[in-house]
Chains A and B, each alone.
Chain A
């Protein structure tokens, strides 16, 4: 295992234990996107490494001089929280409070409880790309050369607002923006194909004026190669969209190849079976 792969393994354990701990939440998409978030936060993104109170990363809402990440499909909060904690924004033991009363780790990400690392509430689908564009425009106005990353779901692409944003960004040279679509082919009521087919998403983004790339989002080598390439492609007048093929439930055999684990928590036996497939690399919280 490479270092990034070993972090991803721990993040997947965290995800499973978090949703098990509160018997709610969304393991499927979280497991599928674990590799991307790890690659972004532990390698790709320029992050201010200054430590503040308690030895945790000091978090600044404005994020000037830092790359920023926006999670539009907020239901996969478990992967976001785990990666933020493992990266040092807050203590990993706090992951145990996920979705419980008085927690900073709300069901969907929120700024309301001031969890370090979160810059916007999400959960109601379809809104994140617009926010990411605004944030990217703010960077341009500030003369700030750092980048903005955004992740959306593929079912989420059915929301009209996504396409308002998709149309806007190329027309306004928002070329400091990288949007990922988690193409796992699944959503709540079944396959995206059956529910409301996205058809050729990449071709659509291309037609709107985006530079479109494709990647296997569960292959860490491919991912890191793609991310390196992206660094050369930004700033060239076009926003970048990545159609990221993933497997919902990646890493746990019985959670893969279906939409069933979109938003269901494992019971005790299922948790044990799932954890046996993922190495504990950094120590469970």
Chain B
């Protein structure tokens, strides 16, 4: 099994900020919008270098999404940014009608997703955003796993023509992917090949899955770990190839199990290759205040939870 190490920890939102800085220098059509959360979104460098291409919306997310849609008419590539809850549930109809249905080239970039937002609590901890966004026809949904991958994804979505939801977060986590990676939308990343169980993880759960893989290896279980950074369009080919080999699967995401990555994988397996699937995700409950580590533990989103799910999946194999 390939060993992954890291020398530093960083937040994925800073990867977004770094990607935005690059786009500011390389793509004159990129415009950034924010709703009174510039520091949290790490936009300072972009704003400093491109003040005329930054739009401070104030606390008016619905207006921000509408303006972003309008900016595309004339060729701008708007990156509309705020906390994930306010970028999705707060403005769902604006996203649905003005962005998705109208098929506008808007990049909705959302930080502080999920439980790892921490102490602010459930009002801010959106755990339904991937589901809401992936249900919209034509919407691309991306949830990268570390600083480098978030930076690469940020740069890549500017090249893609169409609406995108890019999700990232607040906690500092290991940086373990290649700093020079090319991000391919819709192409799953094989983290570790294995034969006994396929672990499909997204976002912050990818590092946990790698840890789980090592724990399973110590028990003689050979797990295949795949990073599904693009939840839509889903890399069905990679999923099917893996599960045909291993015979069972685990999904791992910082999201409600209802409607998340796991359900997308379940649809593929049910229709094309029946196999046991175990979900690691939040089970129909709201979050709460606490430190990110405490919450990931309490709500069952840890490496340990992935190990247990893998064993359950394996035991269900015929």
* Residue positions of A touching B, CB distance < 8 A: 22, 24-25, 74, 99-103, 105-108, 110, 112-113, 121-126, 155-156, 158-160, 187-189, 192, 195-196
Partner of B38 from the list A106, A113, A126, A189 (CB cut-off 8 Å) is A189
Chain B residues within an 8 Å CB radius of A123: 120-121, 123-124
CA distance A113 to B62 in the complex (A): 30
Beyond A187-B36, A196-B36, 9 additional contacts (C-beta under 8 Å) are: A22-B119, A99-B119, A101-B291, A101-B294, A106-B288, A107-B289, A155-B36, A192-B58, A196-B56
Which chain B residue has the least Cβ–Cβ distance from A161?
B62
Q: How far is the CB of B85 from chain A (nearest CB, A)?
A: 7
**Could you list 30 examples of A-B contacts with CB < 8 Å?**
A74-B123, A99-B289, A99-B290, A100-B289, A101-B289, A101-B291, A103-B289, A106-B121, A106-B122, A106-B288, A106-B289, A110-B122, A123-B121, A155-B36, A155-B58, A158-B60, A159-B59, A159-B60, A160-B62, A160-B63, A187-B36, A187-B58, A187-B59, A188-B36, A189-B34, A189-B37, A192-B58, A195-B36, A196-B57, A196-B59
Q: Is the CB of B123 within 8 A of A107?
A: yes
Which chain A residue has the least Cβ–Cβ distance from B90?
A124
Chain B residues within an 8 Å CB radius of A121: 122-123
Chain B residues within an 8 Å CB radius of A196: 36, 56-60
Q: A112-B286, A124-B90, A188-B39 are in contact. Are A155 and B123 (CB under 8 A)?
A: no
Indicate with 1 or 0, residue by residue over B104-140, a CB within 8 angstroms of chain A CB atoms. 0000000000000011111110000000000000000
For B121, B122, B295, which residue has the most chain A Cβ atoms within 10 angstroms? B121
Chain B residues within an 8 Å CB radius of A110: 121-123
Q: Does B244 contact A (CB under 8 A)?
A: no
Q: How far is the CB of B302 from chain A (nearest CB, A)?
A: 15
Chain A residues within an 8 Å CB radius of B59: 125-126, 155-156, 158-159, 187, 196
Partner of A25 from the list B38, B39, B119 (CB cut-off 8 Å) is B119
CA distance A110 to B37 in the complex (A): 23
Q: B288-318: which have CB < 8 Å to A? A: 288-291, 294-295, 298
Q: A101-B288, A160-B63 are in contact. Are A124 and B121 (CB under 8 A)?
A: no
Which chain B residue has the least Cβ–Cβ distance from A192?
B58
Q: How far is the CB of A167 from chain B (nearest CB, A)?
A: 16
CA distance A105 to B90 in the complex (A): 24
Q: How far is the CB of B174 from chain A (nearest CB, A)?
A: 23
Chain B residues within an 8 Å CB radius of A100: 289-290
A-B pairs with beta carbons under 8 A, tally: 97
Q: A159-B60, A187-B36 are in contact. Are A124 and B298 (CB under 8 A)?
A: no
Chain A residues within an 8 Å CB radius of B294: 101
Q: How far is the CB of A106 from chain B (nearest CB, A)?
A: 4
- Count of chain B residues with a beta carbon within 8 Å of a chain A beta carbon: 31
Chain B residues within an 8 Å CB radius of A195: 36, 56, 58
CA distance A74 to B294 in the complex (A): 23
Q: Does B86 contact A (CB under 8 A)?
A: yes
Q: How far is the CB of A128 from chain B (nearest CB, A)?
A: 12
Q: Is the CB of A124 within 8 A of B124?
A: yes
Q: Is the CB of A158 within 8 A of B58?
A: yes
For A124, A155, A192, which residue has the most chain B Cβ atoms within 10 angstroms? A124
Which chain A residue has the least Cβ–Cβ distance from B121?
A107
Chain A residues within an 8 Å CB radius of B39: 188-189
Which chain B residue has the least Cβ–Cβ distance from A187?
B36
CA distance A231 to B286 in the complex (A): 40
Q: A159-B59, A160-B60 are in contact. Are A101 and B298 (CB under 8 A)?
A: yes
Q: How far is the CB of A226 from chain B (nearest CB, A)?
A: 27
CA distance A106 to B295 in the complex (A): 13
Q: B22-40: which have CB < 8 Å to A? A: 34, 36-40
Q: Is the CB of A108 within 8 A of B37?
A: no
CA distance A26 to B294 in the complex (A): 21
CA distance A126 to B36 in the complex (A): 14
For A105, A188, A192, which residue has the most chain B Cβ atoms within 10 angstroms? A188
Q: How far is the CB of B108 from chain A (nearest CB, A)?
A: 17
Q: How far is the CB of B193 from chain A (nearest CB, A)?
A: 38
Chain A residues within an 8 Å CB radius of B40: 188
CA distance A21 to B34 in the complex (A): 31
Q: How far is the CB of B107 from chain A (nearest CB, A)?
A: 20
Q: How far is the CB of B118 from chain A (nearest CB, A)?
A: 7
Q: How far is the CB of A191 from chain B (nearest CB, A)?
A: 11
Q: Is the CB of B56 within 8 A of A189?
A: yes
CA distance A214 to B38 in the complex (A): 31
Q: How far is the CB of B308 from chain A (nearest CB, A)?
A: 21
Chain A residues within an 8 Å CB radius of B298: 101
Which chain B residue has the least Cβ–Cβ distance from A194?
B56
CA distance A99 to B123 in the complex (A): 13
Q: Is the CB of B118 within 8 A of A108?
A: no
